[in-house]
Structure 1
Amino acid sequence: MRELPKELALPSGLVPPEPPDPPATPKDAATVMLVRDTAAGLEVFLQRRVMGMAFAGGMTVFPGGGVDPRDADTSISWHGPSPEWWAERFSCDIGLARALVCAAVRETFEESGVLLAGPDESSVVADARPFAAARAQLVNRQLSLAGFLAEAGLVLRADLLCPWSEWVTPVVESRRFDARFFLARLPEGQRADGDTSEAQDTRWQRPTEALEDWKAGRSGLLPPTWTTLAELEECPTVADAMSQDRVITKLMPKVARDGDILRVVLPGDPLYDESPAHLDARPNDRLSR
């Protein structure tokens, strides 16, 4: 894993002045890096979240969101690696593994219009736009993923997803997520759109370009997004990215105050074990030097 750059600071409003006591329990969530091949190399679909949102407002992120209890419905028609396989990869119980995969498919459809499902186990929907009404009902929680797939006669394609990583929000934050990251190729014929109330801007970008935008101050990135973009930057094609046999290790950054700046450190960084569990770093501590 690449070391986080020192310039990667958190927005001051993201972390409360006083840490929650007790810390907030992380909500299970799924995040999906939707990728495609182009003549210039691999591109990933990114969203800039609406400024006023309670979590990560204004930041550039991948599609994703929290698990809905209905995502664990065992009636969902499923093709691909079993929930047991996903449970082993993400080191969680089988019910949660099933819900995470279903949440990944649902959130990708809700936030980008890309549907990782098909009429049978060997095909994928070529155009998801005819399901626009169902998409809106999923967003409003008027319809469950199980109900939508059953009504449309579709099979969830778990084989179109690859496990990538797991990130847990630091304990100092009041809104916390235990997010499992997935990789998925854009199905042929489908298009990703910006038709979501959660994003003010969406775009396809090469990871290198996205990192350059962050470095130039044109976008904001959270540590998981920066790290994932840096990892994808090393993959020239979608096939290269999806062929990786990744070992999933749960990562929980720590936050420490360096003057008025909130810096993020990861396990393996010499500062990680020295960082306090809350933001009481002294001005003359090692981080400030």
Structure 2
Amino acid sequence: MKYWKEAASLIVAANRRNGIFHPHTISSSTAAKEKGEEKLSNRNKIRKINDGNVIVRHHCESDFSILLMQRAQSSSFFAGAEVFPGGALDNADTSPDWLEFFEEAGISTKDFGKMLSVQGQRPLVFTNKQTSPLPREVAFRICAIRETFEEAGLLLLKSFKDIPHKKTEVTFAKNYEHPSLSEVTIDEWRRRVHGDASQFIMLCRELQCVPDVWSLMEWCDWLTPATNKKRYDTMFFLCCMNDVPLVKHDAQEMIQTKWSLPTEALQSFQDKQVYLPPPQIYELSRIENFKSLQDLFDFSSQRAFLGCETTFPVLYLSEDGKVVSAYPGDDIYPKVPEFKTINAGEMAVLNKTAEQSLKESKNVNRMVFKDSTECSLYYNIIPRFGHVAPALFNNPDSDVQSKL
């Protein structure tokens, strides 16, 4: 029995050196930025990654920004939170009609390349049984592209004539532009697709374009904790863009759109100016390691084929009233986690304070929450499947840090 819905999300990284930031997409004021840099100067840490090298966190500005969107307060899931664009998988995303359409464009299954032959571990979203002949790795990418179009107006497509000869290569993404696509036309298509996901393939047919699935790289998979009533298993993809596209929130599910430096977004959360859900905190902390968009692309385009595990947070209540969210590899993470939905009152108890648990643990991969707006990230294990370790976030000096 499945206790959750499936979803896809897209982390969009755009070169902020190219393109003009429009007023409604600027992420924070200069004053807030300077304040953040002062606080960040006390957070420089050293940690190991899977090749045994040591990376020193330098908090210089990265040359790229990440697209973040604020959910409406009426949302039933992470209301008011700043998130990456994305949403639930629709039957239209898995339709075999997509295979026929790709064939019309001269694309066969083998042209999807290594995304269909990843050798490492596969996350839950890709191992579930399916009835459609369309590979789930492709269907979830279509979902992420469709949802990003609905929520941000960003159209990641490739025209039939622009499909590269070497179709299997990972590429930079580009916002599709055409003289026939005015702002009014785009808004109308967004409304149509929002009301009926099957309209997305109709849009692609009209434009003679296919979803640019080759520009989406596997980044991570998160399954909502068992204590949540509404749960999703969400596959997060990452794409890189050489130019900053103009984006616009849909004014329905999303009420604000902005581009933020990873460090900036984390600092805004720490200053309680915005609310970031745990997956966004964790993944922005990973992306914070990269100061160059090209480096981020080079890393993710190679790592994407090494495998991906499902990050399923297991929650514990500590004696001091804090919630400890443990992730795979942590000493307190169960060998066989129970995925079944439970009531919040059934949360496991640590029988010690959060700090005591940290001191007694050799392998740490967890977040400690004082409340939903204040948390710390602790990490000292070697990342699996070639991934990068998250930079420590809001982490006061402790014995745990000496192990990094």
For 1:153-180, what per-residue CA distance to the aligned partner results, in whole angstroms no more than 9, with x for missing partners?
A: 2222112211111111112211111111
- Counterparts of 1:142 and 1:248, CA distance in 2: 27
Structure 1: gaps spanning 5 or more residues: 1-21
CA RMSD of aligned residues (A): 2.9
* Compared CA separation, residues 84 and 97, structure 1 to 2 (3 A): farther
How does the TM-score come out when normalised to structure 1? Answer: 0.81
- Counterparts of 2:334 and 2:296, CA distance in 1: 32
- Counterparts of 1:156 and 1:87, CA distance in 2: 16
Structure 2: gaps spanning 5 or more residues: 18-60, 128-133, 164-173, 357-404
Mean alpha-carbon deviation: is it higher for 267-276 or for 199-208? 267-276
- Counterparts of 1:237 and 1:81, CA distance in 2: 32
Task: Look up the match of 1:285.
Answer: 352
* Compared CA separation, residues 276 and 177, structure 1 to 2 (3 A): closer
Would you say the 8 A contact 2:227–2:347 is kept in 1?
no
Indicate which of 81, 105, 108 corresponds to 2:145: 105
* Compared CA separation, residues 253 and 147, structure 1 to 2 (3 A): same
- Counterparts of 2:335 and 2:355, CA distance in 1: 13
1:181 aligns with 2:221: no
**Aligned residues: percent identity?**
23
Would you say the 8 A contact 1:256–1:276 is kept in 2?
no
Deviation at 1:224, TM superposition (A): 1.4
Deviation at 1:97, TM superposition (A): 2.0
Task: Look up the match of 2:298.
Answer: 243
* Compared CA separation, residues 154 and 189, structure 1 to 2 (3 A): farther
Larger-gyration structure (1/2): 2
* Aligned 1:144-163 pairs, distance under 5 A: 144-163=199-218
* Compared CA separation, residues 175 and 34, structure 1 to 2 (3 A): same
For 1:90-110, what per-residue CA distance to the aligned partner results, in whole angstroms no more than 9, with x for missing partners?
A: 552653222101101101101
Task: Look up the match of 2:95.
Answer: 73
Deviation at 1:260, TM superposition (A): 4.7
How many residues align? The count is 267
For 1:206-260, what per-residue CA distance to the aligned partner results, in whole angstroms no more than 9, with x for missing partners?
A: 0000011111111222221111101111112222212222231211111222355
* Aligned 1:1-289 pairs, distance under 5 A: 25-39=3-17, 40=61, 41-76=63-98, 77-78=101-102, 82=111, 85-89=114-118, 90=122, 92=126, 95-120=135-160, 122=162, 125-126=176-177, 129=183, 130-141=185-196, 143-186=198-241, 188=243, 190-244=245-299, 245-246=302-303, 247-258=307-318, 260-273=321-334, 279-282=346-349, 284-287=351-354, 289=356
How does the TM-score come out when normalised to structure 2? Answer: 0.59
- Counterparts of 2:97 and 2:355, CA distance in 1: 54
Task: Look up the match of 1:8.
Answer: none
Mean alpha-carbon deviation: is it higher for 111-120 or for 86-95? 86-95
Would you say the 8 A contact 1:110–1:135 is kept in 2?
yes
Would you say the 8 A contact 1:83–1:97 is kept in 2?
no
